[in-house]
Amino acid sequence: MIRLGMIGLGKWGQVLARSAQQSSRFRISHGYSRSASTRAAFSSTFNIVCPDDVQVMLQDPGIEGIILSLPNELHLPYALMCAKAGKHIYIEKPITNELADARIIKEVSEQRGIGVFVGHCAKLLSGVQLIKQAIDAGNLGDICMIEGRFSNERALNLTPADWRWYQDKAPGGPLSQIAIHQFDVLRYLGGRVKSVNAISARKSPACPEVEDQWVIGLHFESGALGSVNSSWTAPGVFEVRVMGTKGLMHYAIDQTLWGSAHRLHEGATLYWQKTGQSSKQAISLALNETDMFAMELDLFVDMIQGNPQPNFDAQYGMEILGMVESARMSNKQGGLSVNLIDLMAAVTKT
């Protein structure tokens, strides 16, 4: 059985730890937080050893990988710490806040023969997987447009005590926190993105540093178009719509269940409307119970065992982060299109 450690034992670390309990292939044996009370509570809840020094975990030869569930600005220093200790790394999305930092993680991990797995889990949702199967089978014809929406109410209650308040810690607010999930999904379904344009607004009465509304346009290399809308001041929504010459598919979930992935099939809908049919004739497809968090951790273990995961590796994480940076650049330029391919090439050469 593969042994893993975890750094960052807050809300999301607990979500991942619960999902990990389902596996017979691996277990999280150690956890670390800078907070003594957090370590004690986590150890009691999950029966996991939580030393007061992170090096105890990093120097344990029996631990093969480390899960990083930390605020974004801590991804780089802890990823480098893990790589230097010879541990494979799972990084909760985004890989880092800036492409330059992501490139450092990629280079150091490659030099040390360490695998990096970025937690872009949304493409593992059952409805997204069924849409991908339909696209690959040609059931939707030539894909013309893909739309993604992801909103929640976080900015209504933000305070300066929350790291997400600050632009340098959560760039673009929902852009780097939830819209990024849709970048992952649209990239998975539509292929490589050529260019990005975006506009933002601030509507939150809390007035955080970050923007809280985004509308992003994508131009795929295939010629298809995409859009991502994301708000931090609206009820929870997660939807994907794919339109092709032979039909469309529309997937929606109860976003309030996001942290309980095994329940996301409850109330979720997936409709398939063929060209020439009305919306009333659309077929409702069944959605099975799955857990995207358990699935991604299982894929992380596959990577540790020598099976590459190109849809989750450092290069992929950089590409998705590139969409975030391109959107921010476009927004600063009044919505002008930014060539993502050129941006990524420039980062690689720097």
What pLDDT, in 10s, does the model give residues 235-282? 999 999 999 999 999 999 999 999 999 999 998 999 999 999 999 999
Tens-digit pLDDT profile for residues 65-99: 999 999 999 999 999 999 999 999 999 999 999 99
Tens-digit pLDDT profile for residues 41-66: 999 999 999 999 999 999 999 999 99
Q: For residue 346, is it within any domain?
A: no
Concatenate the DSSP letters of all residues of 160-199 into one string: TTSGGGSTTTSTTTHIIIIIHHHHHHHHHHH--EEEEEEE
CA 339 to chain centre: 22
- Total count of domains within the chain: 2
Tell if the pTM clears 0.85, that is, is over it. yes
Q: For residue 132, is it within any domain?
A: yes
Phi and psi at residue 157, to the nearest 5°: -120, 10
78 and 34 in one domain?
A: yes
175 and 98 in one domain?
A: no
- For residue 100, is pLDDT > 80? yes
252 and 153 in one domain?
A: yes
191 and 46 in one domain?
A: no
40 and 107 in one domain?
A: yes
Q: For residue 11, is it within any domain?
A: yes
Which residue segment(s) compose the domain that 25 sits in? 2-121+295-312
301 and 262 in one domain?
A: no
Q: Which helix (H) or strand (E) holds 297?
A: helix 292-304
99: its two tokens: 């492409």
134 and 91 in one domain?
A: no
SS3 337: coil
- For residue 177, is pLDDT > 60? yes
136 and 86 in one domain?
A: no
- For residue 350, is pLDDT > 60? no
155 and 256 in one domain?
A: yes
Cα atoms found within 13 Å of the Cα of residue 268, Cβ hemisphere only = 28
CATH at residue 230: 3.30.360.10
CA distance to 158, 165, 177, 327, 333, per residue, from 203 (Å): 13, 14, 17, 19, 20
Q: For residue 209, is it within any domain?
A: yes
Q: For residue 187, is it within any domain?
A: yes
Distance CA 316, CA 103 (A): 11
Distance CA 148, CA 129 (A): 15
* Contacts of residue 134, Cβ cutoff 8 Å, sequence gap at least 6: 140, 249, 272
Percent of the chain with pLDDT over 90: 97
* Contacts of residue 332, Cβ cutoff 8 Å, sequence gap at least 6: none
250 and 179 in one domain?
A: yes
Q: For residue 178, is it within any domain?
A: yes
